[in-house]
Amino acid sequence: MKRIAVIILLGVLGFFIFSGIYSNEAFTEFGNVDLNNRVSNKFITKSVTDENDIVEFGKSSNLETGSANYVTSIVVNYRSFDTLGEVTVLFISSLGVALLLGTLGGKLTHKYRANFILRVGAKTIFPLIALTGIYIFIHGHLTPGGGFPGGSMIASAVLLLYLADENFRAKMSSFKLAESFAGSLYVLIGIFGLLTSGYFLNNFMNTGVIGDLFSAGIIPIVYVLVGLKVGSELTGIITDFLKVEVDE
Amino acid sequence: MDFNALILFMVFSAVLSYLVSKSNIKLGAYSTILFSLISLIILFLGRNNIGNEFSLLYMNFRVTAIGWYFSLIMILIYSMTAFFNPYWMEKILYPSSYNFLYLFSLAATVGLFFAADLITLFIFWEVVVWSSTFIVPLGKSRKAAVVYFTISSIGSMATLFAIMFVYSKSGTFDINEAFKFLASEPLTATFVFFTFITAGLTKIGIFPFHIWLPLAHGNAPHTFSPVLSGGLVKMGAFIAYLSVGILPAYKAFSTSMTIMGIPFQIYLLMVLGAISIVVGTLMAIKQDDVKKLIAYSSVANGGYILIGILMMDQVTFAGSLMHIFNHAIASAAAFLTIAAIAHRTKTTKISELGGMIHKMPVSYVVYLISIISLAGIPPMGGFVSKWLIVQGLASKGLIFIAFAAFFGSIGSFLYVFRPLAGLFLGQLAPKYENIKPSTLVMKIPMVILASMSVFFGIFPKYLLETIGEIQTSIGIDPIMINGDTITTINGVLNTNKVAAIFGFGFVISLMIFLVLPKSRKVGLMDTYTSAEFIYTPELYHYANSFYAPFERLYKNHPSVEKFLGKFAVKTEELGILVNSLFFSHKPSVTVLWVMAIATLIFLGGVDI
Amino acid sequence: MIQYVSIVLMLIGIYGLLIDRNIIKIIVALNIFEVGLNIFIVSVGFVSGGVAPILTSVNSNSALIYVDPLPQALVLTSIVIGLGTTALALAIARKMYNAYNSLDLDEIGGMDND
Amino acid sequence: MTNPVLLIVVPLLLAFLSVALKNNKKQLLFIAAVFNVVGVFIIENGSYVIGGFRAPYGINLNLDAYSHLAVLVINILFLLIITMSNEKTKEFSTVLLVALAGLNGMLLTGDLFNLFVFLEIVSITGYILSTESKKYKYSFNYLILGTIGSGLYLFGLIILYAIFGSLNMADISFKMLSYDTGKLVVPIFLMFIGLAVEAKLIPFNGWVRGVYGNANSLIGSLFASVYAGTILFVFGRVFGQVLVLSEYLVAVFVAIGVITLIAGEVAAFSKNKIREILLFSSIAQSGLVALLFVTGLIFPTVLQLLNNIITKAVMFTIAGKISDDADTDEADKLKGIFANNKIIGVSFTVSALSLIGLPLFYGFYSKINLLLGLFSKINYFVAAFILLATIIEGAYFIRLLVKLWTPGEEGKESNIKFVTDRKVEFDFNKKVIAFMLSLIILLAGISPSLVKTNLFAMNKLLNEENPSYMFELKGGM
Amino acid sequence: MRLISLIETITSLLLILLAILAVSSKKMITSIIYLSFLSMLAVLSFAIMKAPDVAVTEAVIGSGLVTAVFLFTLLSMKKAGDE
């Protein structure tokens, strides 16, 4: 009975949301978006500060942002402040998880002794996954991906190692340091930009030719830092979740 | 001396008194006497300040004749009551704060009466309310303070609404200017009139706002009840005066329906005043606690005052202004005698006391005088003023109101007699055999106030001349007084003759009392029934359920207290409902609300 | 089509929030809501016939029609924030389970100070 | 130093560092708070773009009179609160650092999506802080509601983006001026829900009672003062200045505000626990502030908001400390508790009286101003509701104060022997700061011109018709 | 083009189906697994909408890490329940 009432309520609500959204002619229908009505059009031509008519892969150089991946250019350049906030969200969540679960002592996996295949396999596969992750965030400005998936991959590699190696927990504190280091450096880069050019998180390096690996100014650096930070934060979250209560 | 300095002096004297009290409590209490007396003298001598304007911070003041008159009464009551403060310092929980708030509220009342703009008026009004609110719970009841504050804030918020409304229309806060536009807008004027006067009604204790008086007056510290009853209640009269005198009520209502020549808006309030007289009198008769009894008599007297002020004419208004003074001193004196008794006996219940005349003769005389004045019996001041009010009403043919006033006078005999017989006369309870009479310092203010009651009863001209000047200053005909003969349309009152007649009667009865043989005194415990000794003689004391047969007549009367109590309970239930409806540990409850509200709002706002 | 579906997904998530009493399932419902929201955000930037917003040697020219990259950037943020809140919610859920030994909100009981 | 971005990033930097410098966390928090308080006096008004990309393309920070006043007050209060409850900050230092960054970010940002990010940061710090009481069911409730709320905010915002093609506050505001806002009921209301959950408007605030009602002195005062203040400032920014509301929505929001005001006061009236009284009073005040913002009154609303958050900082700290030490915050069990803590009692009393809006306290000044504003807008009914709420508020606050000051049974004189035997020891910090704040309330009440002329930002608010001038409004495309 | 719209339709329907299953399933573990599948389909829909970045992120975080965290939670509760 309750379910039906809720379904009816949500049905009515959904109807109004649909009609509220789609009866508005200014809300362009799915697929019919005209970028000229949006701020994104300047992101495509990279002409927020410099006027560019056209940007060509492998040819245009020294643009306001050198990333071939538009999403990356937004994430790390145009809206890099959001990204800083995003990293902070992850940071604070991992901190919260640590505050809640960090006091627990036991380890979830301690009962199941990892078998030989897992141990060896984990050790062999760890560098591969980690390298892929690093590749992803270093190439964030060229290919899909970037700091977050890259960092997550590192985290999953660490997770694997953690599951396989019982003595690995002792080394976890270094991740905290890495997290702290990466986060601080991210902010310091921003402050450096502020000091040199008057804008926080300014892209103070030359951007080079679009499509080159070392072309996007601070983007690769920031993405490496983001990747490291995200990786260590996610590692922290997961290891905390793998703890269990021990009876005192 | 400039009144600018007077107000500053009063504020600083409050602070100074606090500091003195911190080092020596007794000294602090004496400082309240000193400071209030100094203020009284400054004010009394500074009558030539009338008409002056001055300002402090963002507050503007204007000394008017009526404001001066009200302030004088207020400081008089405060300074007289202050004589009792030293004796209560050990008994009060926060003596220094008490002294501070005592003088501070006094300063605020004076500021109120001299306010030149409505904001200043409101500021001081609220300051008086909150500073006195914190004194009340030091006495016997915590609830009293809450009820007092709540009812006061009902009034003050209504008044604030009126003030803001007037400002939004006229663009000024100046008391004399702000209301002017209402003269030509009867409908708006009706609204403003009723909202503005509400604060006054709550303060005077007009039905149905009267319930705070017995609670607060009856339970406040004994040294503060006189101030509450004699002093602060009169602030309400001042607001009532502003509502008809400054707010052009009669002019604005000139086109509206009239009852007996009075615009129905004003007549309605007069009816409320009449109801207060009846209710106050009936309830006063019932009370066993003397302080509550006097508090209810204040309700009744508040009715007289309101009616008189609302008339805004030659006779009734003058009577009302005079009654403000008479009631202030009489009720303060009555409360002071109770305080003096309570100082020795620790109780104010009539049924627990008796025979106090033997122990405290001065208190007895003072009480007798003041309660006679309160009841409006000649030859005290209260009689003159009530006579004026009734005269004024009768001359206008306001039969119902006059009847209520008459009823109040009759009823007042009943409630005057009860404490007189129960408290002072009769047998002394054995446990009070050894109590001492009240101290000299306590006697001073009692005697002063009582003699003022007598004096102005016999020579009202000194008061009425001042009142006449006030009446002239606000543009109505002054009361006609020639020597000690007051002339109204319907009659003439020569107070000297009245006093002489009563004096003669008094002498005769005194002689009879002295000549006739004395009756035998029976101790309170000396009671037998069917030859058996009674172990609970208190219950058989005649002061216990004094008017039982009469009270039975209106035992199950409807009561505003009960109604408001129910209202408070309902509010609490509503609060619990709010709590259980919206606040749960389950997110689904809130999410459901969100979705339901969103649906409702989209239903109204989305074009389909 | 997919845009409508995303709104329906959000509504289903809310339905789950309203119906479920199990705290884990409430968090699942929250995730469904967030997935729906993310799809909606991306769909707002979709241009039919547009290409993915990356300059490559194939799509080498900014004059091509690209899909709107901004919502995609926003979704990245949204996904990560979703992860953060989910992790925190699950950590709290574990603590709740330890404290009340139940996952059912009805069993956990109402305001303990009514 | 003139760039306000440092108010955000310096605490953030110190937060990141505090993970490494575990032993000095508390000092870092204090340094950041002091830095920000100094900083708010140095920063200069203007629009600051992040990364050098002009608005509306990049993210910008708006520092106008409104947000300057907001960061000024919030940072000072933050410092005072963590100093008052100094003994409780250690465990949560990093969280508080991030919270400080997030709060400043919310107040300063000129971008609606960036606001969402900071809102999430602040909310998550809120969820974490709320777990301190170990009442996890309430934290869970808070988390779910907060997440759904901000999700709906984002939903609404994306719809606005699809329509206006921008996320910048000034840009959207500019574009909305020439748009039929009656068509935007769905997105704006969705955004409203998101902020209303955090701003504690009934019926969106089911989490408040569990969280506030169990918070300790630090967390309670932070929530009720700094968090609530920030979210209401942001509410005022978004719904009072950025979004152009249709008449229908204004009516709806005012109705919700009035319901919150009255229901909150009524609920507070029915409570006996100090913190619950205060939390429902906070709810009511939020309703009041929110409804005043949507009616378009900025200056008086800000005054009232300041009144609320300053007094709540004092009162929640005291109430939290009492319940920490005495194991209860039921007023009936704490009769006469102020008899032994007079300074604290006076501070609490002054705050309560100011909140009621009695003269000689700052609250009166704000109340008069907001009434003047409402009357000038012919909003008589709202004014009447506010006055009604004041009556209820006065009743329960006086009841509470009378209980806490004057112990005694009905019919007996108040006496020291009735004082509760529960002991509460207030430390030096709390005494000094609470008393200082109450002195400020008193001073500002006696001479409001002090506030008017000395708070530089306030003066600007007062002098301008529309005090919020978001920079580069005509950024356009 | 046809194929794309076909995939889109199927994805859409599956999304709704999985969401309903996830919400209404009795057991927590199935609910979580459905959520994981839902995320994968979301990845597909992101890919359809030409959002490779989002797709990669959602794949790694949404369907990978979130599911893992869910499962660990469940696992720890099971263990606590066992003892």
Rounded to two decimals, the ipTM of the complex is: 0.90
Chain D, window 170-199: residues with a beta carbon less than 8 angstroms from a chain B beta carbon: 182-183, 185-186, 189-190, 193, 197
Which residues of E have a CB under 8 Å from any CB of C? 5, 8-9, 11-12, 15-16, 19-20, 22-23, 28, 31-32, 35, 38-39, 42, 45-46, 48-54, 57-58, 61-62, 65-66, 69-70, 73-74, 76-77, 80
Q: Is C3 on the interface with D (CB under 8 A)?
A: no
Q: Is C17 on the interface with B (CB under 8 A)?
A: yes
Q: What is the reported pLDDT for C113?
A: 47
Q: In the complex, which subunits touch E with 3 or more CB pairs below 8 angstroms?
A: A, C
- Better-predicted residue by pLDDT, A227 or B535: A227
Please report the sign of the dihedral spanned by the C-alpha atoms of residue D178, residue D180, residue D181, residue D183: negative
Distance from CA of C111 to the nearest CA of A (A): 22
Q: Is C105 on the interface with D (CB under 8 A)?
A: yes
User: How far, in Å, CA of D215 to CA of E70, rounded?
Assistant: 29
Q: Do chains A and D touch by CB distance (3+ pairs < 8 Å)? A: yes
User: How far, in Å, CA of D368 to CA of B446, rounded?
Assistant: 43
Enclosing domain of residue D293: 289-466
pLDDT band at B476 (very low <50, low <70, confident <90, very high): confident
Q: What is the reported pLDDT for D413?
A: 76
Q: Which residue of C has its CA nearest to D114?
A: C74
**Do residues A10 and A125 both lie within one domain?**
no
Q: Per-residue pLDDT averaged across A149-161, rounded?
A: 81
A41 domain-assigned = no
User: How far, in Å, CA of E49 to CA of E58, rounded?
Assistant: 14
B513 domain-assigned = no
Question: Diameter of chain D by CA atoms?
Answer: 76
Query: SS3 of B55, please?
Result: strand
Which residues on B lie below 8 Å from C17 (Cβ)? 587-588, 591
Chain C, window 21-40: residues with a beta carbon less than 8 angstroms from a chain B beta carbon: 21, 26
Bridge partners, residue D111, by sequence: D168
Chain B, window 537-596: residues with a beta carbon less than 8 angstroms from a chain C beta carbon: 579, 583-588, 591-592, 595
- Cβ separation A144–E61 shorter than 8 A: no
User: How far, in Å, CA of D358 to CA of D350, rounded?
Assistant: 10
- Cβ separation C30–D144 shorter than 8 A: yes
Q: Which residue of E has its CA nearest to A154?
A: E60
**Do residues B82 and B173 both lie within one domain?**
no
A61 domain-assigned = no
Q: How many domains does chain A have?
A: 2
D302 domain-assigned = yes
- Cβ separation E50–C22 shorter than 8 A: no
Which residues on C lie below 8 Å from B592 (Cβ)? 18
H/E segment holding residue E42:
helix E28-48
Q: What is the reported pLDDT for E82?
A: 45
Enclosing domain of residue E70: 2-82
E16-67 pLDDT tens trace? 999 999 988 888 889 999 999 999 999 989 988 888 888 988 888 888 888 8
Which residues on B lie below 8 Å from A12 (Cβ)? 599, 603
- Cβ separation D206–B573 shorter than 8 A: no
Q: Is the pLDDT of residue C112 over 60?
A: no
Cis? peptide before B419, omega within 30° of 0: no
The percent of residues in chain B predicted with pLDDT above 90, rounded, is 1
D329 domain-assigned = yes
Q: How far is CA D439 from CA A147, B7, E23, in A?
A: 51, 22, 56
- Cβ separation C34–D127 shorter than 8 A: no
Q: How many domains does chain D have?
A: 1
Alpha helices in chain A (DSSP H): 2-22, 40-45, 70-72, 80-101, 116-138, 147-164, 173-197, 219-241
What values do phi and psi take at B492, rounded to 5? -130, 140
Q: Which residue of C has its CA nearest to B586?
A: C105
A49 domain-assigned = no
**Do residues B448 and B378 both lie within one domain?**
yes
Enclosing domain of residue B596: 560-605
Q: Is the pLDDT of residue B46 over 60?
A: yes
**Do residues A26 and A78 both lie within one domain?**
no
A176 domain-assigned = yes
- Better-predicted residue by pLDDT, E83 or A153: A153
The percent of residues in chain A predicted with pLDDT above 70, rounded, is 89
Q: Which of B57, B149, B164 sits opposite D375 (nearest CB)?
A: B164
- Cβ separation D140–C14 shorter than 8 A: no
Domain coordinates of chain C in residue numbers? 2-50+66-108
Q: What is the reported pLDDT for B541?
A: 62
Q: In the complex, which subunits touch D with 3 or more CB pairs below 8 angstroms?
A: A, B, C
A226 domain-assigned = yes
Q: Is C65 on the interface with D (CB under 8 A)?
A: no
Q: Do chains E and A touch by CB distance (3+ pairs < 8 Å)? A: yes
Q: How many domains does chain B have?
A: 4
Q: Per-residue pLDDT averaged across B363-367, rounded?
A: 84
What values do phi and psi take at C47, rounded to 5? -120, 120
Beta strands (DSSP E) in C11-106 are: none
The residue behind tokens 């520092």 is D63
B511 domain-assigned = no
Q: In the complex, which subunits touch C with 3 or more CB pairs below 8 angstroms?
A: A, B, D, E
B364 domain-assigned = yes
B500 domain-assigned = yes
User: How far, in Å, CA of D91 to CA of D112, rounded?
Assistant: 32
**Do residues A95 and A167 both lie within one domain?**
yes
A63 domain-assigned = no
C41-62 pLDDT tens trace? 999 888 888 888 888 877 777 7
Instruction: Choose, out of B56, B122, B126, the residue to mutate when testing the contact with D (most D CBs < 10 Å).
Output: B126
Query: Of the segments B92-101, B584-593, C73-82, E62-71, which one has the largest average pLDDT value?
Result: C73-82
Interface size A-E, in CB pairs within 8 Å, comes to 56
Which of D351, D327, D337 has the alpha carbon at shortest distance from D403?
A: D337
pLDDT band at A46 (very low <50, low <70, confident <90, very high): confident
Q: Contact, A101 vs C94, CB < 8 A?
A: yes
- Cβ separation C111–B591 shorter than 8 A: no
Q: Per-residue pLDDT averaged across B43-65, rounded?
A: 82
**What's the CATH number of domain C2-50+66-108, 1.10.287.3510, 3.40.50.150, 3.90.1150.10, 3.40.33.10?**
1.10.287.3510
A76-107 pLDDT tens trace? 888 888 888 988 998 999 889 888 887 666 66
Beta strands (DSSP E) in D85-136 are: none
User: How far, in Å, CA of D427 to CA of D404, rounded?
Assistant: 19
B199-258 pLDDT tens trace? 888 888 888 888 888 888 888 888 888 888 888 888 888 888 888 888 887 887 877 777
Residues of chain D with pLDDT under 70: 1, 449-477
**Do residues B451 and B337 both lie within one domain?**
yes
- What single letter denotes the amino acid at residue B561? E
Instruction: Give pTM, 2 decimals.
Output: 0.92
- Cβ separation B584–C108 shorter than 8 A: no
- Cβ separation A145–E65 shorter than 8 A: no
Q: What is the reported pLDDT for E76?
A: 80
User: How far, in Å, CA of B9 to CA of B27, rounded?
Assistant: 19
User: How far, in Å, CA of B369 to CA of B290, rounded?
Assistant: 16
Q: Contact, B196 vs B137, CB < 8 A?
A: no
Q: What is the reported pLDDT for D287?
A: 92
Q: What is the reported pLDDT for C37?
A: 93
Enclosing domain of residue A231: 70-244
Q: How many domains does chain E have?
A: 1
B407-444 pLDDT tens trace? 888 788 778 777 777 777 777 776 777 777 777 778 88
**Do residues A130 and A210 both lie within one domain?**
yes
The residue behind tokens 């109101």 is B401
**Do residues B62 and B128 both lie within one domain?**
no
- Cβ separation E76–A241 shorter than 8 A: yes
- Cβ separation A101–C94 shorter than 8 A: yes
- Cβ separation C87–A93 shorter than 8 A: yes
